[in-house]
Amino acid sequence: MNSPFNLENQTEYSNWREYKLSQYPTNNEKLLVKFHKNVISKSDVNLIKELIKKYNFAFYEFESVVSDKELHKFCSKLGLEKSISNLLSDADNISNITNQEGNKDKISGKEYIPYTDKRLNWHTDGYYYPIDSAIKSFLLHCVNPAKNGGENFLLDHEIIYIHLRDYNPDFIDVLMQNNIMEIPKNKNVEGSKNVSGPVFYIDKNNLLNMRFTSREQNIIWQKNDMIKKIKDFIFEFITEEKKYIFKLLLRKNQGYIANNILHKRESYIDGEKKRLLKRLRFSNRIGY
């Protein structure tokens, strides 16, 4: 296997690494694609694909309001056809991310943080799923922004992989172990099982995927001499890093589309109209 993500392939890794890092620094404007009169042209699609090849995400902006159907159409132009549902998504597999205050989980009685106005810490989507049903890409579209806050922070997972590997390749070896991070079963859900898996893994297309949450509760890290050092490294990187982390405050009709990169959200305060973001998730990557 010639994947640069295989620790044995040092030459492939060096070449890929050089290409990847040469794309930085960049800025939000260079990653933004605007759809004139809401029409997504062929060159818009190609530009988004190109940006995603380099950064694993791209920002976009429609001129005016778009329907759910149009959002699906946009995704399908990028090869994203099979959307994934979840317990809270609607009939079109769209999750309406808004503050459902007081609307606690019927089973556990707990608040589900994405559907509040609280801060949502660094994670990749679906880190609690087994890797054979992983989320590989997603779209987040702003219908209505908050009055204050709600910024999104994004970090290409391949960038953190490079920094970990350069610092100590053994870190990658540990993070690729099949049982390094375990999410315990939800005792309140019948049939729920523990989900154990790697942080980094290479899929059948030879691409790198990441399962991660910075949540400290309800996560079991496999005992390993290096795990504390690795976690400290990751937390320092996502807290201190400036060159590779993008801060984005989505305006109405703007959004971002991404392979399953690391991201977080700041807390926010609603105005008269509630903040509403639409989210679509897919089982394949953009362009694959």
Q: Dump strand ranges (E) for 18-175.
A: 32-35, 57-62, 95-97, 120-123, 137-144, 148-149, 152-155
The residue (of 125 and 158) whose beta carbon lies closer to Fe ion is: 125
Q: In angstroms, what is the minimal distance from the CB of 36 to Fe ion?
A: 29
Q: In angstroms, what is the minimal distance from the CB of 174 to Fe ion?
A: 24
The residue (of 125 and 270) whose beta carbon lies closer to Fe ion is: 125
Q: In angstroms, what is the minimal distance from the CB of 61 to Fe ion?
A: 21
Q: In angstroms, what is the minimal distance from the CB of 168 to Fe ion?
A: 28
List the end-to-end C-alpha distance of the chain, in Å, as a whole number. 18
Size of the site for Fe ion (CB under 5 A): 1
β-pair type (276-282, 148-149): unpaired
The residue (of 143 and 172) whose beta carbon lies closer to Fe ion is: 143
CA distances from 110 to 104, 107, 170, 255 (A): 5, 8, 38, 29
Q: In angstroms, what is the minimal distance from the CB of 125 to Fe ion?
A: 4
* CB-count burial class (<10 Å; 0-12, 13-18, 19+) for 32: middle
Q: In angstroms, what is the minimal distance from the CB of 210 to Fe ion?
A: 12
What would the x/- binding string for Fe ion be over residues 82 to 121, using CB under 5 A?
A: ----------------------------------------
The residue (of 138 and 201) whose beta carbon lies closer to Fe ion is: 138
As a dihedral over the C-alpha atoms of residue 246, residue 55, residue 133, residue 98, rounded to 10 degrees, the angle is 30
As a dihedral over the C-alpha atoms of residue 73, residue 85, residue 261, residue 174, rounded to 10 degrees, the angle is -150
Instruction: Name the segment binding Fe ion (CB under 5 A); options: 105-113, 124-132, 183-191, 270-278.
Output: 124-132
Check residue 84 and give left, alpha or beta (phi > 0: left; psi -120 to 50: alpha): beta
What is the rounded distance in angstroms from the CA atom of residue 159 to the CA atom of residue 145? 29
The residue (of 125 and 156) whose beta carbon lies closer to Fe ion is: 125
Which tokens sit at 141?
């579209």
What is the rounded distance in angstroms from the CA atom of residue 62 to the CA atom of residue 253? 5
Asked if residue 270 binds Fe ion (CB under 5 A), the reply is no
In the complex, which residue's CB is closest to Fe ion? Answer: 125
Instruction: Name the segment binding Fe ion (CB under 5 A); options: 32-40, 86-94, 123-131, 211-219.
Output: 123-131
Q: Please, are residues 194 and 184 in contact by the beta-carbon 8 Å criterion?
A: yes
Q: In angstroms, what is the minimal distance from the CB of 39 to Fe ion?
A: 29
Q: Which of 58, 122, 125, 261 binds Fe ion (CB under 5 A)?
A: 125
The residue (of 190 and 216) whose beta carbon lies closer to Fe ion is: 216
Which residues bind to Fe ion, rule: CB under 5 A? 125
